[in-house]
Structure 1
Amino acid sequence: MEATVRVSRPVLQLTLALVKPDAVAHPLILQAIHQKILENNFIIVTNRDLTWSREASQTFYSQHSGRFFYQRLVEFMSSGPLRAYILAHEDAIRHWRKIMGPTQVCCARYTAPHTIRGSYGLTDTRNSTHGSDCPESASRELATFFPEFSEGAWAASGHSRGDFLYHTERQVHLVRSREAE
């Protein structure tokens, strides 16, 4: 089933969005986050559910090694299922980070209560979501979670400027074919 036709857009930026185990454990929260992504006009290029090994979590968060929260973060991120998304939007990284809200849940609850973390975050570690912080991180993180995906091929195919349809059953956007018009 297809619905919600998108209009042509300027070049889209890609970002990684992770829904962490604390949110995935609650189907209604997971669905609310998915809905928030759609309401904010992101293109969902693809998504996948996965469970991370402790080693994969350590590698991903290696820049935090030695910090007081590192071990807690590694254990938490490998404690249950995650949902990973590739999102596209004009200025996707900044826009996704704004929707997530501050990392510190206590700040998010007071300064940004309508953000994802303000609404669903439990602690600074169990704060529901992760997002890339810059284009270089986004490229590295997308390759970690979606090794079969090629940013270059996606952009070269014209998808970064395409019209999209939302496929409700698959919960992703599909490029609208010109032949369908």
Structure 2
Amino acid sequence: MHDVKNHRTFLKRTKYEDLHLEDLFIGNKVNIFSRQLVLLDYGDQYTARQLGSKKEKTLALIKPDAVSKAGEIIEIINKAGFTLTKLKMMTLSRKEATDFHIDHQSRPFLNELIQFITSGPIIAMEILRDDAVCEWKRLLGPANSGLARTDAPESIRALFGTDGIKNAAHGPDSFACAAREMELFFSFKWSVWASKHC
């Protein structure tokens, strides 16, 4: 491993007892010889093929309408094989809600969505498992809770949601979206304002 900043070799091939294969997934932070490293991407295609289908993280968000059912939702998440790695309860301001829903800026329901997400506390969780983004979307079910009740009756949105906006929970559509949203909810900047709003 080469240290680009100091122009020197930081680490040669060596055995490190505290690092395990299950620690090696995109988005994880590992400590190697007192240096924190963030795993951003695979070094080559071979490594991507070997480890690519392994563990990944995603954001699970319980919306204000389902916070009272958080215990049941977390139990469903655990039974589905997810590991809960971070959890934070907060109330979003209008500015933070707008930052979070940046992908919906041109949608006609944006104001209703922002008004709803800021109406009460939410629970943001970082969850981990193999193929986490796809598996979390499958567990959530369709975005419209009415449709979820017919197409995926055991899904979280079918069990706890009421419509397309008040649909109990949120999950990012891709790994890139998941990384952006986890950064928003679990970065230091949001930690400061979240502590003021809860």
TM-score, L = length of structure 2: 0.67
Give distance in 1, aligned partners of 2:71 and 2:77.
10
Give distance in 1, aligned partners of 2:124 and 2:65.
14
Is 1:14 the counterpart of 2:14 in the alignment?
no
Give distance in 2, aligned partners of 1:65 and 1:138.
18
Q: Displacement, 1:12?
A: 1.0
Give distance in 1, aligned partners of 2:187 and 2:75.
26
Give distance in 2, aligned partners of 1:66 and 1:14.
28
Q: How many residues align?
A: 138
Q: Corresponding residue for 2:12?
A: none
Give distance in 1, aligned partners of 2:77 and 2:146.
23
Equivalent residues in 2 for 1:80-99, closer than 5 Å:
80-99=120-139
Which amino acid in structure 2 is aligned with residue 94 of structure 1? C
Q: Where do 4+ consecutive residues of structure 1 move more than 4 Å?
A: none
3-state secondary structure, aligned to 1:86 = strand
Q: Corresponding residue for 1:179?
A: none
Higher RCO (Cα < 8 Å, 6 or more apart):
1
1:146 to 160, 183, 186: 186
Quote the sequence identity (%). 33
1:32 to 56, 72, 76: 72
1:59 to 89, 94, 99: 99
Q: Displacement, 1:133?
A: 0.9
Q: Which protein shows a greater Rg? A: 2
Equivalent residues in 2 for 1:1-181, closer than 5 Å:
11-24=54-67, 26=68, 29-148=69-188
Q: Corresponding residue for 1:152?
A: none
Give distance in 2, aligned partners of 1:65 and 1:54.
13
* Cα-Cα RMSD: 1.3
3-state secondary structure, aligned to 2:170 = strand
Which amino acid in structure 2 is aligned with residue 86 of structure 1? E
3-state secondary structure, aligned to 1:133 = coil
3-state secondary structure, aligned to 1:16 = strand
Give distance in 1, aligned partners of 2:167 and 2:134.
18
List alignment gaps of at least 5 residues for structure 2.
1-20, 23-50, 189-198
Q: Displacement, 1:82?
A: 0.4
Q: Displacement, 1:62?
A: 2.0
TM-score, L = length of structure 1: 0.73
Give distance in 2, aligned partners of 1:138 and 1:63.
13
| Cα-to-partner distance string for 1:37-63 (whole Å, 9 max, x where unaligned) | 110110111101011001110111122
3-state secondary structure, aligned to 1:93 = helix
